[in-house]
Amino acid sequence: MKKDIHPENYRFVVFKDMSNGQTFLSRSTAATKENITLDDGKEYPLIKLEISNTSHPFYTGKMQFVDTAGRIDKFKKKYARKGAEK
């Protein structure tokens, strides 16, 4: 491996899966402006995830419907007009 290419400022960060509310603590260098207090009473930076291993169908073995920001509704609305014009 090349030397001096990896960051030195790893810190504990909480990742939160927004589809099911699960949180987990890990180390990261990712920047964030939000914080969260865990059960241990300490405050950690918070990074929000749309999907993680606790909600992804590959890991859970079941399909879950995740509609982020109404993308499916926008798609249906956009192409519903196209089909009606023909």
pLDDT band at 10 (very low <50, low <70, confident <90, very high): very high
Strand partners, 14: 25, 46
pTM of the model: 0.62
Take residue 46 and report the two structure tokens written for it. 């918070």
Q: Is 5 within the bounds of a domain?
A: no
Domain range holding 27?
A: 11-85
9 vs 31: CA distance, rounded Å: 11
Beta carbons of 54 and 48 less than 8 angstroms apart: no
Domain membership of residue 1 (yes or no) is no
Percent of the chain with pLDDT over 70: 77
Number of domains comprising the chain = 1
Is 3 a domain residue? no
Per-residue H/E/C for 9-66: CCEEEEEEECCCCCEEEEEECCCCCEEEECCCCCEEEEEEECCCCCCCHHHHCCCCCC
